[in-house]
């Protein structure tokens, strides 16, 4: 297989936990260099990987094919723009950008330069999401009429990290909102309207730590919820339809597995030990309950598909067009929260 050389900008949590292990586990990708201000941190875990001290130095290295950008949200646009202008294929972490205007500029630039631009919406390969999609596709729920997708945490103290500060792209709506919105759109398509409540509820909070949004469809309502102040366990998914219902507790295990040092592909990789509960009607019209076995999750699918897209052997796993729609919903959610009104989703204005 042709070997593609990958350069990564930054060595923070997302780089160490997600991108580096997945790149190393993907045949045909080679981790060639990392730009960082903390080369000693890299050397401690990746002694054979060269470091440079700036994104510009990384982009100037010869023979780098792909640039991965797992950096603070407000840097996604300028760094992706730089990387594509220098002829590199790009993986940018979610959110794609901070606005539709930025996202559409990057999309146009990728077409102009003839490079593959992709957004790391890795939660499409969560075990519980893949399992829910399978249950819907198999018709167990009939027509889905309502669903609640939750991503809750219990972190009552405000931490000194950029995600929790009053900075562009900070806050929970830009952090967990893209995951919830992308999963909803993957399952049900773009909504007709959105109504959102985005707030800061923690004492001393500097950015939003609570977000709830309703997506409106002709005969369907989807509720999205994320919070930093939920101590009780809530279902990750509650989905109801004309034939029955589906409830799933617990998040996908891959992030915790990566943090614990498990390597992608190890035994039990991506295997969720908590099956969902499926409720379906029997011939008497009563509801039967049964465990619904989980599909193993695998974030490696993203990088395998991206590799194939760069080599011209497959489709981009997350296109900029798809990611731009999520940025549009993020913007409209903010507008709804600020106005208190339901916002009709119109055609996305592309620059």
How far apart CA 310 and CA 28 sit, in angstroms, is 11
How far apart CA 49 and CA 272 sit, in angstroms, is 33
Q: Check whether the bond before 95 is cis (ω within 30° of 0).
A: yes
How far apart CA 31 and CA 41 sit, in angstroms, is 16
**β-strand pairing of 29-35 with 4-9:** parallel
Q: What is the largest CA-CA distance in the chain?
A: 69
Domains of the chain listed by start with CATH number: 4-122+301-315 (3.40.50.720), 126-297+330-343 (3.30.360.10)
pTM of the model: 0.95
Helix, strand, coil: what percent of the chain each, to 5? 35, 25, 40
How far apart CA 155 and CA 94 sit, in angstroms, is 22
Q: Answer for the pair 299, 257: CB distance below 8 angstroms, yes or no.
A: no
How far apart CA 120 and CA 92 sit, in angstroms, is 6
* 3-state secondary structure string across 226-277: EECECCCCCCCEEEEECCEEEEECCCCCHHHHHHCCCCCCCCCCCCCCCCEE
Tens of each residue's pLDDT in the chain, 351 residues: 579 999 999 999 999 999 999 999 999 999 999 999 999 999 999 999 999 999 999 999 999 999 999 999 999 999 999 999 999 999 999 999 999 999 999 999 999 999 999 999 999 999 999 999 999 999 999 999 999 999 999 999 988 888 888 899 999 999 999 999 999 999 999 999 999 999 999 999 999 999 999 999 999 999 999 999 999 999 999 999 999 999 999 999 999 999 999 999 999 999 999 999 999 988 887 889 999 999 999 999 999 999 999 999 999 999 999 999 999 999 999 999 999 999 999 877 554
How far apart CA 225 and CA 173 sit, in angstroms, is 10
């Amino acid at each position: 297989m042709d070997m593609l050389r990958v350069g990564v900008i930054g060595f923070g949590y997302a780089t160490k936990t997600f991108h580096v292990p997945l790149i190393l586990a993907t045949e045909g990708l080679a981790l060639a260099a990392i730009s960082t201000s903390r080369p000693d941190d890299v050397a401690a875990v990746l002694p054979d990987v060269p470091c440079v001290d700036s994104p510009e130095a990384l982009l100037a290295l010869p023979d780098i094919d792909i640039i991965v950008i797992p950096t603070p949200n407000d840097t996604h646009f300028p760094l992706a723009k730089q990387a594509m202008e220098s002829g590199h294929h790009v993986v940018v972490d979610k959110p794609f950008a901070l606005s539709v205007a930025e996202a559409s500029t990057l999309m146009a630039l990728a077409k102009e330069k003839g490079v593959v631009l992709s957004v790391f919406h890795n939660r499409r390969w969560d075990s519980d999401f893949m399992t829910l999609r399978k249950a819907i596709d198999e018709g167990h729920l009939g027509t889905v009429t309502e669903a609640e997708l939750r991503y809750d945490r219990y972190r009552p103290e405000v931490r000194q990290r950029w995600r929790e500060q009053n900075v562009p792209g900070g806050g929970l709506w830009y952090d967990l909102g893209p995951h919830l919105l992308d999963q909803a759109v993957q399952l049900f398509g773009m909504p007709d309207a959105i109504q959102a409540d985005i707030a800061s509820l923690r004492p001393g909070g500097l950015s939003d730590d609570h977000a709830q949004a309703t997506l409106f469809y002709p005969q369907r309502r989807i509720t999205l919820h994320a919070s930093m102040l939920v101590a009780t366990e809530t279902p990750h998914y509650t989905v109801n339809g004309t034939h029955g219902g589906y409830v799933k507790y617990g998040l996908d295990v891959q992030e915790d597995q990566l943090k614990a040092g498990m390597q992608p592909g190890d035994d039990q990789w991506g295997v969720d030990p908590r099956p969902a509960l499926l409720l379906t009607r029997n011939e008497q019209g009563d509801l039967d309950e049964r465990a619904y076995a989980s599909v193993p999750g695998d974030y490696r699918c993203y990088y395998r598909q991206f590799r194939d897209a760069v080599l011209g052997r497959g489709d981009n796993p997350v296109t900029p067009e798809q990611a731009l729609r999520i940025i549009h919903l993020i913007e409209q959610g903010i507008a709804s929260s600020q106005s208190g009104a339901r916002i009709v989703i119109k055609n996305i204005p592309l620059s």
